[in-house]
Amino acid sequence: MKNYKTVVLSNQEISSGYYRMRILAPGFGSKAKPGQFLMFRVQTSLPPLLRRPFGIFRMGFMPADCDGQPPKEFVEILYKVVGRGTEIMSHLQVGSKVEVLGPLGRGFDLGAPGEQKILVGGGIGLVPLYMLARELTRKSSVRLLMGGRTREDILAVTEFERLGVETYVSTDDGSLGEEGLVTQVLLRKLDKYPNASVYACGPMPMIEAVQEICAARGVPLQVSLEALMACGVGACLGCVVKGAGHSEASPRYLCSCKEGPVFRAEQLDWTKLGQEPGYCEGCKI
Amino acid sequence: MKNKRPSLAVEIAGIKLKNPVMPASGTFGYGEEYAPFMDLERLGAIVTKGLSLAPKAGNPTPRIAETISGMLNAIGLQNVGVDAFIQHKLPFLREINTPVIVNFFGNTLDEYGEVARRLSDIPEVAGVELNISCPNVKQGGIVFGTDPVAASEVVGLVRKHLNKPLIVKLTPNVTDISVTARAAEEAGADAICCINTLTGMAVDVKTRRPRLANRTGGLSGPAIRPVAVRMVHQVVQAVKVPVIGVGGIMRPVDALEFLIVGAKAVQVGTANFVDPAAMITIIDGIEAFCVEEGISDIHQLIGSLQL
């Protein structure tokens, strides 16, 4: 991990309010592991003051130039415009200078080869699952269950399909795929593949529902959590979540940026994990 | 003609620093967190996260909230405890040719004394920074830091148990910081560090709930810098011991402000989160400024405020 000064290669709106940004990643793109993230410095003037964490969607190589230069690494992030920081990012142009810190955090454990893998993504939570799918499809059969409120929240599904991943889409309003919650699809898939391993990333209520299902059936689950972060490297201790065995009398916290953002479900204390306020919705900093 | 490199070396309470820039406690972990991003030997000193006698788990979440040009935190002094620090964190720091200043606090007066005593025995600890100013937990010392009599008592007690340079870090959450600064000096502080964070609060207007689980937190970042510069200026006038200035330093010019009002060294906090190499940029910038201004020794700059 390092702080890289680099440039934007592309930055496009792919669905209403959702953007896909590709940045040049010389020396670090290919080091990224599924589930790791970047701290993105939105701009050098203020505000916003702090960097923003983004899961890495994919890494790849630009084709070699005709002048004989070697292929250049790039990484892509997908992000949703939720506040001032992401609003500013959405206006960055090709060639804009940016600073990213990374790759950071602990990623997914790829588990045993050959076993069935089920990925559950909700909205922008899909992001870390693509690199994971790319790794897992080498040795396992992979299914993606993708949920959103409307069809606008369903992202990049065809790219998973190109990897050979079976995909199932559900939306709350039925505007794309099946009408209803992604957890209904999960229940059906687990009926069919009771020995599967599950990987989930998405809104907290979805993650909690997935955890309940997996815990009831004894299915191994890894989750990637979103957290407010200041430093991304384990120094500020601002992004902690409650670990298993946590109590008020004996608090136990795990650092999302360093010990996560991917956790095995049994590492966490799930009581009220999702009931705490997260990003400020009203102030849009 | 090429300018000679200016001397940036300063001495704080007998601790020799190659330059006046060090991290603010709590923003730099135990040093190792930032080793991948910079050469730690370039720093004037390393100031570690505040230690207590027993490990401390910290406050409930959410613990941080961004505000305009600032950041609120209520981490709650989460730390590994003094013994685990000595056993597991110090060996890494021992290998680095930079003085290590250990920040610490106690839940009670006795604990302050006990932690000081344990740190006294450790040769690799160049000095200690006594925290009587954390706003996020009652036992973080703010009860001592806001009352000059209590401040005097805890500084005096720590002084008795400690055979190392003692820096006392003061809170800005008082009416007149020069009163607590004088109390700390009279009780045996070898240097004063100011300021710590300002108590603040932020509310999510949609949920109408405080944005921090602790309700209030400590405000840091550029938003507090003018307050910090003013307070450092006041404290410099009030005491004879060296003063370390801290509060919202992001760029070299910010550090220069503190030096000019009389701080002999500076601490950089929130900027480390934004740019892990911020302190290196600040050190280089101070040097470049000295060259530009024809300053051969940083002491020509320290306290050079024109009134």
User: Contact, B223 vs B248, CB < 8 A?
Assistant: yes
Chain B environment of A235 (Cβ under 8 Å): 27-29, 33-34, 272-273
Higher-pLDDT residue of B98 and A66 is B98
Phi, psi dihedral angles at B254 (to 5 degrees): -65, -45
Task: Give the separation between CA B178 and CA B244, rounded to whole angstroms.
Answer: 14
Q: Taking CA atoms, what residue in B is nearest to A85?
A: B66
- Please state, in angstroms and rounded to a whole number, the distance separating the CA atoms of residues A139 and A34: 15
Annotated active-site residue in B134, B193, B194, B290:
B134
Least confident residue range of A129-133, A246-250, A261-265, B36-40 = A246-250
Q: How many CB atoms lie within 10 A of CB A135?
A: 17
Mean pLDDT score of chain B, rounded to an integer?
A: 94
Per-residue pLDDT, A280: 45
Q: For A64-102, how does the pLDDT look when each residue is reduced to its tens digit (9 = 90+)?
A: 777 777 888 999 999 999 888 999 999 999 999 999 999
Torsion of CA A79, A21, A201, A116, to 10 degrees: 150
- Residue B137 in this model has a pLDDT that exceeds 70: no
How far apart CA A121 and CA A146 sit, in angstroms, is 5
| Contact of A260 with A33, CB cutoff 8 Å | no
pTM over 0.80: yes
Q: Name the more confident of A95 and A114.
A: A95
Q: CB–CB of A238 and B274 under 8 A?
A: no
pLDDT for position A62:
85
Contacts of B212 (CB under 8 A, 6+ apart): B62, B63, B64, B65, B72, B73, B74, B201, B202
The answer to whether the CB atoms of B66 and A101 lie below 8 A apart is: no
Paired tokens of A186: 């999960």
CB A26 within 8 Å of CB A13: no
Annotation says B194 is catalytic = no
pLDDT band at B136 (very low <50, low <70, confident <90, very high): low
| Banded model confidence at residue A51, pLDDT cuts 50, 70, 90 | very high
Cβ–Cβ below 8 Å for A237 and B78: yes
Task: Assign B134 a pLDDT band (cuts: 50, 70, 90).
Answer: confident
Give A241's contacts in chain B (Cβ within 8 Å).
Answer: 61
Share above pLDDT 70 across residues of chain A, in percent, rounded to a whole number: 95
What percent of chain B has a predicted confidence (pLDDT) above 90?
90
Record: contact B61-A231, CB cut-off 8 A: no
Token couple for B163:
């055979």
| Predicted pLDDT at A44 | 82
Strands B265-268 and B243-246: parallel
pLDDT digits (tens, 9 = 90+) for B55-84: 999 999 999 999 999 999 999 999 999 999
Contact B231, B253 (CB under 8 A): no
- Predicted pLDDT of residue A274: 57
The residue type found at A54 is F
Specify the pLDDT at position A136. 95
Q: Which residue of B has its CA nearest to A250?
A: B57
Euclidean distance between CA atoms A154 and A182, whole angstroms: 12
In this prediction, residues A195-205 reach a mean pLDDT of: 94
Q: Region A4-12: what's the mean pLDDT?
A: 95
**Which of A83-87, A263-267, B122-126, B183-187 has the weakest average pLDDT?**
A83-87
Q: Which residue has the higher pLDDT, A246 or B227?
A: B227
| Termini Cα distance of chain A | 27
Asked whether residue B3 carries a pLDDT value surpassing 90, the answer given is no
At A249 the pLDDT is 83
8 A C-beta contact, residue B241 and residue B192: yes
